[in-house]
Structure 1
Amino acid sequence: MAGAYKTPGVYIVEKNAFPNSVVEVATAVPAFIGYTEKADNKGSPLHNKPWPISSMAEFESYFGGAPKDQFTIVPIDDKKPASDAAPAPAEGGAEGSGGEQPADQPADKSAVPVLPDFKVGDKGYLIKRKDNKLDTERYYLYRSMQLFFANGGARCYIVSVGTYSDILDIQPKALTAGLKLLLKEQEPTMVVIPDTMALKQADGIGVQQETLTHCGVDMKNRFAIFDIHNGFNDSTAPEGDPVAAFRNSLGTTQLKFAAAYYPWLNTVMVDTSDLSFDTFAARTDLTNILKDAHSNDEDIKGFVAQVADANRAVGGKILSDEELHKILFAVSPTYVSILSVIKRKLNLLPPASAMAGVYTLVDNLRGVWKAPANVSLSGVVSPTVNISHAEQEGLNVTTAGKSINAIRSFIGEGVLVWGARTLDGNSLDWRYINVRRTMIMIEESLRLATKAYVFEPNVSGTWVTIKGMANNFLTSVWKRGGLAGASPEDAFSVSVGLGETMTAEDILEGILRVTILVAVSRPAEFIEITFQQQMQKS
């Protein structure tokens, strides 16, 4: 340095005393892929463009509102065999055996009784989606976002791959194309695709397999949350066991990067006030049913007649749809009953989006190392299937290793998440969700911090700096409970240097190797309390 000084005097030289700090990356930033009403930011299109939002108000501003779900009313003909009509959904709830059933054709049609959604006198009726589509053929993203924010969701990304159409047209290729759009985004740490549940199971499994590849092979720093097709059914459903079908179809690739939840949920995202005459695809059927229900009520007949004929006046006044809807809702129990069935169908939602909110909430309150389980769900009335302690054994532990996390209802506690395993349930390394996600956080944080030393001299000074930086970061994680051990030495170790992690040949090839061992905390999944009698002492 002396050679650089030309003029006599005092020169100040400042040197860094501390290594660069490691900034902990975000752990709970889900990316949702699906269909929206619109995709627009003040005239700038957002289609096929990952876009960050932080609230439901922002979602509606950029991507619009709920889809216009429409239903038709189908009478049950007692003279026809059961195969000509689908089984009606049972009342959802923890006490029900299977929640809502889709208007799907069962395997053994003749053995399934046709249960009506509602009855007028001796006549039974089913409420089906427009064009006789299945109850599951719908756009799920909007309601799923409501469920996400209701359960603690915060910042997330939306990838709109299409808009609502008159004819439901959810394409597997569009959803998987949304995954490719996320390859250049660094912030998202989770992937949720609610609209997968509107596809046929084979197509949906294909999308889920692509998601596993995206998380575990392409990015290696993301975690997928899966729903199960027909997850509103129990294992005895005529359509087959949905959990077994999911396990048999998914495959075995990169299961440590995903978790699945069962069953679906009866929620409160849709209120009766959200429904109107636009909910009915054909008003004529509604008019005939209400006429039968109120054939002896002269005061209501006039209002009923206007349902299908808007030009017919009541008392000299033509009522608007909104006015007529409010009047019938106030005076017709049958009309209220029909709306209640439709509301229950719309409130049947897959649980993955709620779990994304739970992950976010637990990460913010406790840390990513806390298992996202034994947490109550908000905006949820009940799971569609009441799972017992014995029944959960087959979900949690299986010879194939594909653990399914149960959502259960407990007396006095509400609806709780009662499982914390990845789909790789047989792996002692990656069995638990919090272990997988904690390791992703540590790996990504240190990777980004260490980028500052790329092309630095591969000498002891660089090694000591990197080691100190990693030690400081892991000590802070240990202090907050993220690593197990009575002392930092028990919780982790960092090794780097010639003769320790590198050879002379490694240095010649420009390779700097750092080896880090961490003891990630695991959940106390099974607590055993031993009791034994002892001899009387006095």
Structure 2
Amino acid sequence: MISTPKTPGVYITELNAFPNSVAPIATAVPAFIGYTPRADYRGASYYNKAVKITSFAEFQAYFLLDNPPPPAEPARQYSPAYYLVAQNAQPDSGQFVLIGGTYYSIVPDPSTVYYLYNSIRLFYQNGGGDAYVVAVGAYGAPSHRPASDASAPIVNPNVQLADLQRGLSVLLKEAEPTLYICPEATLLTVADNGTLMRGMLEQAEQMGTALCVFDIIGADKPDPVHYTQDIQTFRGNVGQNGLSYGACYYPFIGTHVMQPAEMDFTQLFGGDTAQLAALINPPAAPNVAVAALLEMILTPPAQAMSNSQLQAGLLNASQSYRTIIEKVLECVNVLPPSGAMAGVYAASDNSGGVWSAPANRGIVGAVSLPIQLSDAQQEGLNIDADSGKSVNAIRSFKGAGILIWGARTLDGNSQDWRYIPVRRTMIFLEQSIKLAAQPYVFQPNTADTWGAVKAMITSFLTGIWKAGGLRGATPDEAFHVSVGLGSTMTPEDLLDGYLRISVQVAVMRPAEFLTIAIVQEQAKSD
């Protein structure tokens, strides 16, 4: 408004007809931390930077290898190496094949196993959208030898605690991510994994913006009898702080993310064709077609065949080779569920709101589980009287398939924070209101400001209540907003510059236990 007009005339002043409003924040924006084939774009490095992506195509542009022009084959983005190790008897656990009367365990080169790439593929398969990626390094060199113990958890020496911690610290400057996902944390040692998880929970609690989604070491090949030891180890290592900001899922999931075209003979025995030949073209049962193909691999002719053509030829020529590739793919496709869960969270939020439990839902791409949990077995995961650290089970049900069968945080003994949708709803409400209140910083601490703030928050919460996010038959039963002198502030608060707002909400809780009472009624006489 012109306060001192100097020229006679008519002046128009536009006034705001509507008060400020609360803009809801996004609720399912995961931040993935881990290793990628590369991290650059247009000549600039993006290692140890939080890069926001909105699609798998954007992830590919920043973090995946460029495909050469045709007719060259596409770049191999992820090439885990596997070995077949002869056993004296049928192995008790893990994948194995029987060739020529001998059992062979399928054992990875631990230095070549990574999870981030396939986890992001699962994220988008399950409904993911916006995400952040913090690439902490490229893939390391292979060790050119199999793991010494096929039954032990995989520990990749190229996955370093310091790298992942550095990636986590990058997120201190990012308030938008609402989920912390680190799939390769299970490739650390148990001690380093615990250190990382505790750091993630402490940071999440400090920022108040994100929920950490954890996987469990040993959940890829659980012992059918002693699997609970892995659960107890996890509970002992995750610490005691920030538990309401963490959730865990068990076990790993078998998928079809990696396709047969992404696996070939170069990933067997470290590319040593001689060792492969001993299995698929043994002297006792020679195969002429296989021998010719192996020779072309060792000594390429002038008109060399591509690897995919040689792979197709070996698959057609040898049943043993087909079996090996199938079993290796099964190993590669057993993945931690955290990436898929981030996608499920996004899909659940989009369909029902952040207050809907991301449970009793299927996982797109999940086709098997390494362990089939029963009701009795899940009891110890869902409720632990000693630690209260609940672990959400992923289970297979006849006629329904593989479902997420739990919605608890790690703070399972807390009446306030035991449920994931409660914690995530409160993060959503707190951060939305916090951002909306920022324009009122340095405004006069008067009744006009108090009324504007109260009206803004009340309007926002009324909308959440109408959408089904708060309990109560009326808005008065669902929430209460107080601000002002005598209710939330004292004269001393005014002198000290404090504007205090009290917001009470009745958050929706999932119906975790449905009890149906059936009473047999006596027959009545006519």
Distance 1:495 1:263 in 2: 45
Distance 2:189 2:210 in 1: 25
Distance 2:463 2:523 in 1: 50
Out of 404, 410, 425, the position equivalent to 2:391 is 404
Structure 2 counterparts to residues 141-290 of structure 1, below 5 A: 141-167=116-142, 168-217=157-206, 219-234=207-222, 236=224, 241-280=229-268, 281=270, 282-290=272-280
Out of 325, 329, 334, the position equivalent to 1:348 is 334
Matching residue of 1:106:
none
* Cα 1:274/1:211, change in 2 over 3 Å: same
Matching residue of 1:523:
510
The percent identity for this pair of structures is 42
Matching residue of 1:493:
480
The answer as to whether partners of 2:176 and 2:209 remain within 8 angstroms in 1 is no
What are the Cα deviations for residues 230-259 of structure 1, in whole angstroms up to 9, with x where unaligned? 113446556862111101221111000010
The answer as to whether partners of 1:76 and 1:123 remain within 8 angstroms in 2 is yes
Structure 2 counterparts to residues 43-442 of structure 1, below 5 A: 43-64=43-64, 66-77=77-88, 88-90=93-95, 117-130=96-109, 133=110, 138-167=113-142, 168-217=157-206, 219-234=207-222, 236=224, 241-280=229-268, 281=270, 282-292=272-282, 295-296=284-285, 299-300=288-289, 302-303=291-292, 305-306=294-295, 309-310=298-299, 321-399=307-385, 400-442=387-429
Distance 1:453 1:77 in 2: 74
The answer as to whether partners of 2:79 and 2:263 remain within 8 angstroms in 1 is no
Alpha-carbon RMSD: 2.2
Matching residue of 1:479:
466
The answer as to whether partners of 1:287 and 1:308 remain within 8 angstroms in 2 is no
C-alpha displacement of 1:72: 2.1
* Cα 1:170/1:475, change in 2 over 3 Å: same
C-alpha displacement of 1:321: 3.9
Would you say 1:4 and 2:9 are equivalent positions? no
C-alpha displacement of 1:87: 5.1
* Cα 1:19/1:126, change in 2 over 3 Å: same
C-alpha displacement of 1:423: 0.3
Amino acid across the alignment from 1:289: L
- After alignment, is 157-166 or 14-23 more displaced? 14-23
C-alpha displacement of 1:328: 1.4
Distance 2:342 2:137 in 1: 22
The alignment of Structure 1 onto Structure 2 pairs a total of residues equal to: 497
- TM-score (ref. length: structure 1): 0.88
The answer as to whether partners of 2:220 and 2:252 remain within 8 angstroms in 1 is yes
Would you say 1:463 and 2:453 are equivalent positions? no
Q: Secondary structure at the match of 1:51?
A: strand
Amino acid across the alignment from 1:166: A
What are the Cα deviations for residues 306-332 of structure 1, in whole angstroms up to 9, with x where unaligned? 276325x7xx98655443321110121
Q: Secondary structure at the match of 1:4?
A: coil
Distance 1:140 1:233 in 2: 15
Matching residue of 1:110:
none
The answer as to whether partners of 2:214 and 2:246 remain within 8 angstroms in 1 is yes
C-alpha displacement of 1:153: 0.9
Distance 2:217 2:365 in 1: 21
Matching residue of 2:147:
none
Distance 2:139 2:222 in 1: 31
The answer as to whether partners of 1:310 and 1:319 remain within 8 angstroms in 2 is no
* Cα 1:308/1:472, change in 2 over 3 Å: same
Distance 2:227 2:127 in 1: 34
The answer as to whether partners of 1:287 and 1:304 remain within 8 angstroms in 2 is no
The answer as to whether partners of 1:475 and 1:488 remain within 8 angstroms in 2 is yes
